[in-house]
Amino acid sequence: MLQTVPIEPFTIAVPDTVLAELRERISRARWPAGVAASGWDEGTDPAYLRALLAAWAEFDWRARERALARFQHFRALVDGTWIHFIHERGHGPDPLPIVLTHGWPSSFTEHLALIPLLTDPAAHGGRAEDAFDVVVASLPGYGFSTRPAGPGLTSSGIADRWHALMREGLGYEWFGAHGSDIGAGVTARLGWRHSGSVAGIHLASVSFAEPPPPWSPAEREYLATVAAWDAAEGAYSHVQSTKPATLAAALNDSPAGLAAWIVEKFRAWSDCGGDVEARVGREHLLTNLTIYWATQTIGSSIRLYYEHRHHGGLMPPGTRIEVPAGFAIFANEFVPAGRPPRELAERTYQVTRWSELPRGGHFPALEEPEMLAGEIRAFFRPLRGSKPEGSQKTVNAPPQEQRQ
């Protein structure tokens, strides 16, 4: 296959001046006065936020850069946008290519623990024949992927870019896909728009639009729960989908504001029992925050909500996705993704695997990577032999960068 998407090695290297300014801004944080809030009932706990900011000021970002450099990083120019991605080859007889897509307020780092579990399953209690070639992509306008040049990019357009990256950039004519949150929407649209290239789609933390009636009792109960959650907890989504520029001006200018906005969601949406660092970890939180701060992508990340609201982010009513679909439903996922009934998923998807898991929340690749990796391996196992005749595994090897 002719390589029509240019790819080049990429090195993460945040300038010293950016890190110095971050520390200086943290030192000058202005904390809210007035009625003293405590705990998390009103949002981010002020005492926790102060402690997190103090740790951020001392955070060894250079050590994190060295750790991230253990993976092969690249960027590809797709439709005028540079897409950052990791590409790691599998260790097995015939690795299946797979693209992993994160959501908000996350970044590509959400999937790092999955990479060795998928590329080398035999070294982690699995079978060599379940190996994958893994591509972990950063959404446009997130982290080290550049911002879209103009308005109108939704999950459908991102799916088209992923298809171009996998086929025209990396030469994979047949591949699988997994995603959660926004990444689940991108992954679903890969299956919908590019079924000829996609072996199957695996989804976690996936939301469902309200279907046309009649509803089953389980669907009715689920939709009522979604509506109640949205009324109590959905303000973040409403403001991000209606006035993202107003919010971005505040968050892009303040480390304290950025941390408060993002960390509260990691706590609320993970299966952490109120202790966010017990499941997500302080190092990951600070890594994720530093990526948002250094790249100044909080505005472009939340703008994706606006694009979906104003530029047709939903699939048309009655859409049917015919590629095989697997669902990992984690026990303590937050609503609106929550614990949907299988019959709701079957309205849109050809469900071939439906797993309701005993623990885990909205960030399963962080919280339960071994469990999620097992689900991905099991879902794709019967699909590996379904490659269309004449399709090739990989043709275009990306340029290799020096491991640090």
Can you give the pLDDT at residue 401? 44
Please state the φ and ψ torsions of residue 250, each to the nearest 5 degrees: -75, -50
Please state the φ and ψ torsions of residue 328, each to the nearest 5 degrees: -110, 110
Residue 349 annotated in active site: no
Q: In this model, does residue 294 exceed pLDDT 60?
A: yes
Mean pLDDT, range 89-103, rounded to an integer:
98
Q: Which entry of 178, 194, 284, 362 is annotated as an active-site residue?
A: 362
Q: Which entry of 305, 306, 308, 349 is annotated as an active-site residue?
A: 305
Q: In this model, does residue 403 exceed pLDDT 50?
A: no
Q: What is the CATH number of domain 46-386?
A: 3.40.50.1820
Can you give the pLDDT at residue 336? 61
Can you give the pLDDT at residue 396? 61
Answer yes or no: are the C-beta atoms of 103 and 333 closer than 8 Å: no
Query: Who's near 363: CB < 8 A, 6+ residues apart?
Result: 106, 110, 180, 205, 266, 269, 270, 279, 280
Residue 275 annotated in active site: no
Q: What is the pLDDT of residues 172-215, one digit of tens each?
A: 999 999 999 999 999 999 999 999 999 999 999 998 989 999 99
Mean pLDDT, range 134-151, rounded to an integer:
97
Q: Which entry of 45, 133, 181, 271 is annotated as an active-site residue?
A: 181
Please state the φ and ψ torsions of residue 41, each to the nearest 5 degrees: -65, -35
Q: What is the pLDDT of residues 64-77, one digit of tens each?
A: 999 999 999 999 99
Q: In this model, does residue 400 exceed pLDDT 60?
A: no
Domain range list for the chain: 46-386
Can you give the pLDDT at residue 404? 32
The Cα–Cα gap between 317 and 348 comes to 9
Structure-block tokens of residue 72: 């092969």
Q: In this model, does residue 325 exceed pLDDT 80?
A: yes
Structure-block tokens of residue 169: 């950039």
Residue 181 annotated in active site: yes
- For the chain, the average pLDDT equals 93
Mean pLDDT, range 89-105, rounded to an integer:
98
Q: In this model, does residue 37 exceed pLDDT 50?
A: yes
Mean pLDDT, range 282-303, rounded to an integer:
98
Can you give the pLDDT at residue 36? 67
